[in-house]
Amino acid sequence: MSINFLIISLFAFLVTLGLVVIVHELGHFLFCKLFGIYVKTFSIGIGPKFLRKRWGETEYVLSAIPFGGYVKMAGEGIMEEIQDTGTWEERKYPLGTEEGNAEAAGINDHIPPDRFLISRPAWQRLFVFIAGPLFNLVLAFVLYTGVVLSTGLVNYPFTTVGDVQVDSPAAAAGIQVGDKILKVGGLPMGNWGDIIDGLTPVELQETGPSSLVSLEVLREGRTMALELQPMFDEESGYWSTGLESWNTTVGRVKRNGPAAKLGLRKGDVIESVNGETVTSFSKIAGIINDRPGQEIEIIWVRDGEWMNGIVVPELKEIRPGVKKGRIFYEPYFIYEKVGLGSAIVFGYKGTLNTISQTVRGLRDLILGKHGLEAVGGPLRIGQVAGEMLSWSFAHLMSFIAFFSINLFLLNLMPIPVLDGGHVLFLLLEVIRGGKPVPERLQAIATQIGLIILLLFMTFVVVLDFWTVTGH
């Protein structure tokens, strides 16, 4: 790992963590201000404070440990003291204080009792607790929308078939590699995006049976009429045809990756890999995936000139527990600009899709389908963030959106110390007819939750180091 990549990764890590933490705590802070709750401290980071500045009634702090932050509210209860001392035993007021007595709980602070969190209605406290995670969700939506609006939608400027999956709807329809798709549903096709849209029209977006779609293809100089019936893929949540475009043209190349070192540039057309003629990006990836650490010859054409070279794919984790060879380049594509309305729709879909994927990943982790290597800590986050920035700033923004949604879901887990734990205590209070959960019970549960969280963080950091360094 080069020094340059370490610097890039550190910068990307700080941007990623800083943005999601600031937005999360800003959510809590703004709703406190909205409801008139007194905020003592707004901290980015946890632990010892090394930069602090008071504006008005609130002290704004930059703390030493960047993994998190907090908004300390008057009358917050046990968390108010944990944020100061790290333990619940060193409180300024006794645990025997009558539940719900905000004035007694904050007697040393000379703050009006009606500005204590504990004195606010249950619905206001609920909004304060969930505001942080919800702001993370909004951040993800804004980033996804912004990326689409600023860059556009990815499209492939090809209409020739490069791959047909076995036993797929395309294979059943008789489509062959090399066919040029002229029309779908009677409409002329100008790029691969048109083909995908034509094969999955609005009426096919439901999970019910689809109807046949007519196609007109050009094969060896002859025009042929075919019919294809798309199939809904339950696992991915998308309609499947089994088609891939003929695309061996090199798109964006990652800086300092094996492809870049080989000399591949955007616009190069790859003809063969390891002695095998290729017609699609998946064919190229399939050969490279299975040969990490092995020398592979690649032959390509640039401006009519044939070129060749040897590349050694790097072993890379592509999903939890699965590692394959990678040379780090993207297939050639173009961006099609979209308006604000379309960008919002795609931002919404991207947010929902990431939530769905994350929930499935958590489910698989709990069910044991993924091993412990699926758990990523600060080192893994920094490494991935650095890799995303090495591709482009838009890649990093998309990763931050993904990470923000992960924090949204994590913080809503009903574990004391997390926002979901506060919500759990609040719901129990409502069930008990407005009587708070006994403070001593909250203190014990919070302390246990804090210990579990610290142990888990320690475990993740150790596992992270082990995984990233290979030791």
CATH of the domain at 312: 2.30.42.10
- The predicted model gives 264-272 an average pLDDT of 96
Give the model confidence (pLDDT) of 44-83 as tens digits: 888 888 889 999 889 999 988 777 888 999 887 655 555 5
Lowest mean pLDDT among 290-304, 326-340, 363-377: 363-377
Percent of the chain scoring above 70 in pLDDT: 83
For 467, the token pair is: 């995984």
For 126, the token pair is: 């609920």
- The predicted model gives 143-167 an average pLDDT of 94
Cα distances (Å, whole numbers) of residue 290 to 275, 279, 284 = 15, 18, 11
| The pLDDT value given to residue 230 | 86
Report whether pLDDT(102) > 60: no
| The pLDDT value given to residue 79 | 57
Indicate if 265 and 235 belong to the same structural domain: no
- The predicted model gives 3-13 an average pLDDT of 85
In a domain, 28, yes or no: yes
Q: Higher model confidence: residue 159 or residue 7?
A: 159
| The pLDDT value given to residue 86 | 41
In a domain, 341, yes or no: no
Q: Phi and psi dihedrals of 354, rounded to 5?
A: -65, -40
Residues whose CB falls within 8 Å of the CB of residue 286, separated by 6 or more in sequence, listed in order: none
Highest mean pLDDT among 84-98, 102-116, 312-326: 312-326
| Residues shown for the chain | 471
| The pLDDT value given to residue 463 | 57
Indicate if 114 and 228 belong to the same structural domain: no
How many alpha carbons lie under 13 Å from residue 271 in its C-beta half-sphere? 10
In a domain, 455, yes or no: yes
| The pLDDT value given to residue 99 | 38
Please state, as a whole number, how many other Cβ atoms lie within 10 Å of the Cβ of residue 141.
20
Do residues 27 and 34 touch, judged by C-beta distance below 8 A? no
Indicate if 263 and 229 belong to the same structural domain: no
Report whether pLDDT(257) > 80: yes
In a domain, 234, yes or no: yes
How many alpha carbons lie under 13 Å from residue 84 in its C-beta half-sphere? 16
CA 88 to chain centroid: 35
| The pLDDT value given to residue 90 | 38
Indicate if 446 and 420 belong to the same structural domain: yes
Question: How far is 227 from 215, CA to CA, in rounded Å?
Answer: 6
In a domain, 263, yes or no: yes
Indicate if 51 and 116 belong to the same structural domain: yes
| The pLDDT value given to residue 465 | 57
Single out the residue in 279, 312, 336 at which a domain terminates.
Answer: 336
Indicate if 8 and 136 belong to the same structural domain: yes
Cα distances (Å, whole numbers) of residue 87 to 73, 74, 91, 245 = 17, 17, 8, 60
| The pLDDT value given to residue 37 | 93
Indicate if 218 and 264 belong to the same structural domain: no
Query: If pLDDT is split at 50, 70 and 90, which confidence band does 5 have?
Result: confident
Indicate if 232 and 329 belong to the same structural domain: no
Question: How far is 231 from 168, CA to CA, in rounded Å?
Answer: 8
In a domain, 362, yes or no: no
Report whether pLDDT(94) > 50: no
Question: How far is 134 from 263, CA to CA, in rounded Å?
Answer: 45
Single out the residue in 222, 244, 266 at which a domain terminates.
Answer: 244
Query: If pLDDT is split at 50, 70 and 90, which confidence band does 108 have?
Result: very low
Single out the residue in 286, 314, 336 at which a domain terminates.
Answer: 336
How many structural domains comprise the chain?
A: 3
CA dihedral defined by 182, 184, 185, 188, rounded to 10 degrees? -50
Residues whose CB falls within 8 Å of the CB of residue 450, separated by 6 or more in sequence, listed in order: 82, 416, 417
Query: If pLDDT is split at 50, 70 and 90, which confidence band does 239 have?
Result: confident
| The pLDDT value given to residue 410 | 87
In a domain, 150, yes or no: no
Indicate if 134 and 8 belong to the same structural domain: yes
Cα angle 411-367-68, degrees, rounded to a multiple of 5: 20
Q: Higher model confidence: residue 128 or residue 360?
A: 128
Q: Which residues pair with 42 in a beta bridge?
A: 60, 71
Q: What is the mean pLDDT of the chain?
A: 83
CA 281 to chain centroid: 24
Q: Higher model confidence: residue 463 or residue 111?
A: 111
Do residues 51 and 61 touch, judged by C-beta distance below 8 A? yes
pTM assigned to the model: 0.78
Give the model confidence (pLDDT) of 195-221 as tens digits: 988 887 554 444 455 578 899 999 999
Give the model confidence (pLDDT) of 380-411 as tens digits: 788 888 888 988 899 999 999 999 998 899 88
Residue 464: closest CA among 381, 361, 371? 381
Give the model confidence (pLDDT) of 428-463 as tens digits: 888 888 888 887 787 778 777 777 776 766 666 665
Residues whose CB falls within 8 Å of the CB of residue 101, separated by 6 or more in sequence, listed in order: none
Question: How far is 379 from 389, CA to CA, in rounded Å?
Answer: 15
In a domain, 447, yes or no: yes
| The pLDDT value given to residue 329 | 94
| The pLDDT value given to residue 234 | 67
Indicate if 13 and 102 belong to the same structural domain: yes
Lowest mean pLDDT among 133-137, 289-293, 314-318: 314-318
> 262: domain range?
250-336
Cα distances (Å, whole numbers) of residue 180 to 183, 186, 195, 201, 224 = 9, 15, 11, 20, 10
| The pLDDT value given to residue 396 | 94
Indicate if 133 and 8 belong to the same structural domain: yes
Indicate if 19 and 125 belong to the same structural domain: yes
